[in-house]
Chain A
């Protein structure tokens, strides 16, 4: 599974987006404050997941705003900063 697809599944689970399927999840759409109703608490929940699962720490608000602008941005940030390699 590509990193983008993997993240879609993870976000649906940790943010409990029960009415969204991975197929419907647009990785380029606005993530925070967009149609999914994702807010600052969700961002922090995603911060924890990114650190736990990919070893990437995000503890700076400015970086966070860029990273969580879209799922594609998040995937790119993980790809660049994680010690893991992705397909």
Chain B
């Protein structure tokens, strides 16, 4: 059996090189650079640094710049496509923060003005724009986000969950990234010179790249997506592994996934940021994998480094190079650094290409590689194993205002509220002081959840992959970074806070602690972030792999949470915490299994019927839905309650319902605590009286399912059942 190919049926791009495929191709053919002094926002002190800024009036007063960039690229990718799309997967690290930075400086306290702050709003906006009622997933793995999004989209298609997916990445320039990379001394004052002996860093940039990926290649596909590989260095928060171990693994995995050998690759599009460490580590990885590397170059001397957009922009460029027979130059290069032992292309070359390997690496040690090929190579792809076994849960933990796992679960079982902010001193007690000395609230909560879920008593095998959902990311680090930037009149931004501010910083810490060198995905899906991380795990976790950790956590921040999260009604209702489950495809020793049964837009008319049709506990007459743990964010109460009522009517279900957020509190990943409660009830074999309103209900592991239902703007269902 052959794996069905994934076609690149459309592509769109916007960067400092221009808007659209043809402008981009022209710039690449003429070895032009789009790197110029920053003009997007004014600076209080210094002369503007060189950046890759998108020129021309792209701004739309009603939307943040990232959203607009994403839409421009998406519209080009969708040009001529007459069918719908089943999902949107988008990588971003900035979301609406450029707009929020300005509002914060103006002292704006109007919550509506911040409604597009969250990373999830970009994917949701794009999905809405194209009437997509399927999953709108947001990936935030720093500078590998674009590749991670495309890799997930590829799995959605291969697994048959979707037939057409719009996937890519978008980021706008903003003060956070501009000053952040500067504070790390990673910006080259002379522009960007990847692989050059005098290279001093990157040019921070912006843009968007989008691919319309389809399973049947209707129309005239540009190229095919042959393989993807995701790995994590598990080494350092911001510095790449010195030998490029993770980069090597990502490239090997992408080749393996494509069913190709190293000699099959015609061109490598390097990550090549122009920083001393990245270029050196990447060159070592290339040498380890390729005894004689094919032609290669980094285009970041032309585009700059557009962070989450970079991987998607370069995937689009890989397809463009194949379709237009072009090898792009290593723009900005004068003298190759001899220590790298590479011969990057000094000028653009016309050449027919069959395959391109493209790399993207980022903070948190995240690495992603893609293999793009000519249309005709599609049929040669070998069969790949799709995961067959369900996901089994082997450990769990949670955290809330009510305390650690035991305290939280016991209170919930008695029908008591645990809403409130978790006690940080309680969390820190169990973590070594040196481990957490630079970590603020979110990464500390994640580390605590991970340790507890693993039940750390004796040495255990390392984890392989980490999937972390967070609605709002590291609010403390982001707030502290922006505050110190403003207080010091833009003179003394904190490098520590910048590194900690990325959404995937916590997942990166988990990878380092547990040697988790497999895929490391952070989903930033607003109130549905935990649900998205479970879906990512379902798509990525392979049968024979060691256990993976799925975490959902959010912090309640006194200033940011009430301003950004519409479900939080002032500082008095702050709540936070999270939950974690240890999963694998092996049933041996498992507590129960978890099935991500449904994920789609909550506004689609057909959503409730589709949801009911997707549930195993309703379809299979041998099974019974014993309890519904419903999560309705406060800001979507009316919509969510209506959906719940309709669901009960459509399914003729009579199970008791627990209104989870009323007990757990209002925070984006409260669902993770709900899931852990469900796991515990299955383990206990009984639903206590306080949760049924009638009497304690014994659970039959062979028959009973606990349904965790998330409602509101999205509807997601997860089924927990005995092994």
A positions within 8 Å CB-CB of B:
15-19, 37, 39-42, 44-45, 47-48, 51-52, 59
Contact B437 A15 (CB under 8 A): yes
Pick the 3 closest A-B CB pairs, nearest first.
A44-B495, A16-B437, A19-B433
- Across-interface contacts of A42 in B (CB, < 8 A): 438, 496
A59 to B188, CA, bound (A): 12
Instruction: For the complex, give the distance between the alpha carbons of A84 and B491 in Å.
Output: 20
Verify A41–B433 contact, CB threshold 8 A.
Answer: no
Asked if B499 contacts A41 (CB within 8 A), the reply is: yes
Q: B316 at the A/B interface (Cβ < 8 Å)?
A: no
Q: Are A44 and B492 in contact (CB under 8 A)?
A: no
Instruction: Pull 7 A–B residue pairs with CB atoms less than 8 Å apart, ordered by A.
Output: A37-B437, A39-B236, A40-B238, A41-B495, A42-B438, A48-B495, A52-B488
Given contacts A40-B239, A41-B238, contact A48 B437 (CB under 8 A): no
Q: How far is the CA of A71 from the CA of B438 in the complex (A)?
A: 20
The docked-state distance in angstroms from the alpha carbon of A45 to that of B237 is 15
Bound Cα distance from A54 to B684, whole angstroms: 62
Interface membership of B434, Cβ < 8 A: yes
In the complex, what's the smallest C-beta–C-beta distance from A40 to chain B, in angstroms?
Answer: 6
- A41 and B496 contact, CB distance less than 8 A: yes
Question: For residue A19, which residue of chain B has the nearest CB?
Answer: B433
Query: Which B-chain residue is minimally distant from A60 (CB atoms)?
Result: B185
Bound Cα distance A45, B484 (Å): 13
Tell me the minimal C-beta distance from A9 to chain B in angstroms. 16
Chain A, Cβ-Cβ closest to B488:
A52
Q: Nearest chain A CB to B472's CB is how many angstroms away?
A: 23
In the assembled complex, the Cα of A15 lies from the Cα of B434 at a distance in Å of: 10
A16-B438, A37-B434 are contacts. A44–B185 as well, Cβ < 8 Å?
yes
Q: Let me know if B184 is at the binding interface, CB within 8 A.
A: yes
Residue ID in chain B nearest A36 by CB atoms: B434
CB < 8 Å A-B pair total: 43
**CB of B491 to closest CB in A, whole Å:** 7
Q: How many B residues touch A, CB cutoff 8 Å?
A: 19
Contact A45–B496 (Cβ < 8 Å) = yes
Pair A44/B183 contact, Cβ less than 8 Å: yes
B236: chain A residues within 8 A (beta carbon): 39
Contact partner of B183 among A15, A17, A19, A48, CB < 8 A? A48
How far is A17 from B436 in the complex, measured between Cα atoms in Å? 10
- A5 to B: closest C-beta gap in Å: 21
State in angstroms the CA–CA spacing of A65 and B672 once bound together: 45
CB distance from B428 to the nearest CB of A (A): 10
Shortest Cβ distance from B561 into chain A, in angstroms? 23
**Given the known A-B contacts A16-B437, A19-B433, A19-B434, are A52 and B185 also in contact in the complex, defined by CB atoms under 8 Å?**
no
**Residues in chain A near residue B185, CB distance under 8 A:** 44, 47, 59
Q: How far is the CB of A81 from chain B (nearest CB, A)?
A: 18
Chain B contacts with A in 414-450, Cβ cutoff 8 A: 433-434, 437-438
In the complex, the answer to whether A41 meets B438 with C-beta atoms within 8 Å is: yes
Q: Assuming A40-B238, A42-B438, A48-B183, what are 17 further A-B pairs, CB within 8 angstroms?
A: A15-B438, A16-B437, A16-B438, A18-B433, A19-B433, A37-B434, A39-B236, A39-B239, A41-B184, A41-B237, A41-B238, A41-B495, A41-B496, A45-B495, A47-B185, A48-B493, A52-B491
Is B367 part of the contact surface with A, judged by Cβ < 8 Å? Answer: no
Complex CA gap A46/B493 in Å reads 12
Complex: A8 Cα to B641 Cα, angstroms: 58
State the Cβ distance, A50 to closest chain B Cβ, in Å. 11
Q: Which of B355-411 contact A (CB under 8 A)?
A: none
Given the interface pairs A41-B499, A59-B185, the reply to whether A48 lies near B434 with Cβ below 8 Å is no
Complex: how many Å from CA A44 to CA B236? 15
Complex alpha-carbon distance, A86 and B184, angstroms: 29
Q: Residue on B with the closest CB to A39?
A: B236
CB distance from A55 to the nearest CB of B (A): 12
Q: Counting CB contacts under 8 A, is B494 at the interface?
A: yes
Report the bound CA distance from A44 to B238 in whole Å: 12
Residues of B within 8 A of A37 (CB): 434, 437
